[in-house]
Chains A and B, each alone.
Chain A
Amino acid sequence: EIVLTQSPATLSLSPGDRATLSCRASQSVGSFLAWYQHKPGQAPRLLIYDASNRATGIPARFSGSGSGTDFTLTISSLEPEDFAVYYCQQRNNWPPLTFGGGTKVEIK
């Protein structure tokens, strides 16, 4: 099973700051990694698929990069609605499909 480790667990930032979230895989997942945003009481929202492709309707301030075992989600300038929990997920080696433990982006 591929284990995804997200860091940091919590990121305390202010609106307008740049957010850099990391996801490290226990073995290569190629480019088959996705990022989701999850807010309380809402369904998860797909942001990035296949490491660097923005999903439909996702603002350009969200970008993904990386391949193999190291991936990054960058939010160039945080908007108030961006404070949430972010998960990475791999689909390269399955079953099982696996998610990271999440990074909470909170208001400083």
Chain B
Amino acid sequence: EAQLVESGGGLVQPGGSLRLSCAASGFTFSNYDMNWVRQAPGKGLEWVSFISTNDYTIEYADSVKGRFTISRDNAENSLYLQMNSLRAEDTALYYCARPRTKGGPHAFDIWGQGTMVTVSS
């Protein structure tokens, strides 16, 4: 069974940094593009970032561009999100999400349970 498990969330002060991880299992991780999606408290879903299978294509939402860096380690079946210069508005539950098929930003059929990031002094 395909599964994603996020970790690395926590409480951080404004301006601080945090690195999220997403461990994949039950499928060939290297064959799939991957994404991060977040949900702020009481708000809807917001796409954050995309990375292609071979790192060739990387995209970010404007709200995080220049502050967040997505990466992956196919040998370790892991996805990462390095978050720098964190702001209060980055407070959210962060999900990693896998598209339903290979090649591009298809709909997400596998999601993790999320890891909570709280930015507060």
Contact call A56/B44, Cβ cutoff below 8 A: no
Question: B62 at the A/B interface (Cβ < 8 Å)?
Answer: yes
Expressed in whole angstroms, the Cα–Cα distance for A101 and B50 within the complex equals 21
Question: B75 at the A/B interface (Cβ < 8 Å)?
Answer: no
Expressed in whole angstroms, the Cα–Cα distance for A44 and B95 within the complex equals 9
Q: What residues of chain B lie closer than 8 Å to A45, measured between beta carbons? A: 111
Most A CB contacts (10 A, CB to CB) among B35, B46, B100 go to B100
Q: What residues of chain A lie closer than 8 Å to B14, measured between beta carbons? A: none
For chain B, which range describes its interface: under 10, 10 to 19, 20 to 34, or 35 or more residues?
20 to 34
Contact call B50/A46, Cβ cutoff below 8 A: no
User: Chain A 32-57 against B: per-residue CB contact (8 Å), 1 yes, 0 no?
Assistant: 00101010001111100110000110
Expressed in whole angstroms, the Cα–Cα distance for A71 and B28 within the complex equals 33
Closest Cβ of chain B: how far from A104's Cβ, in Å? 11
Question: A95 at the A/B interface (Cβ < 8 Å)?
Answer: yes
Contact call A49/B105, Cβ cutoff below 8 A: no
Closest Cβ of chain B: how far from A23's Cβ, in Å? 12
Contact call A97/B109, Cβ cutoff below 8 A: no
Question: B11 at the A/B interface (Cβ < 8 Å)?
Answer: no
CB interface residues, A 69-108, toward B, < 8 Å: 87, 89, 91, 94-102
Contact call A43/B107, Cβ cutoff below 8 A: no
Contacts A89-B107, A91-B107, A94-B105 known; A43 to B95 CB distance under 8 Å? yes
Contact call B108/A46, Cβ cutoff below 8 A: yes
Expressed in whole angstroms, the Cα–Cα distance for A94 and B33 within the complex equals 15
In order of increasing CB-CB distance, the 7 nearest A-B pairs are: A34-B107, A43-B111, A49-B107, A97-B47, A95-B59, A99-B45, A46-B109
Task: Show 9 A/B contacts (Cβ-Cβ < 8 Å), sorted by A.
Answer: A36-B108, A44-B97, A45-B111, A89-B45, A89-B107, A91-B104, A94-B105, A95-B60, A96-B59
Residues of chain B touching chain A, judged by Cβ–Cβ distance below 8 Å, are: 35, 44-47, 50, 59-62, 95, 97, 100, 104-109, 111-114
Residues of chain A touching chain B, judged by Cβ–Cβ distance below 8 Å, are: 34, 36, 38, 42-46, 49-50, 55-56, 87, 89, 91, 94-102
Give 7 A-B pairs besides A94-B59, A96-B62 with Cβ atoms closer than 8 angstroms: A34-B107, A56-B109, A87-B44, A91-B106, A95-B50, A99-B44, A99-B46
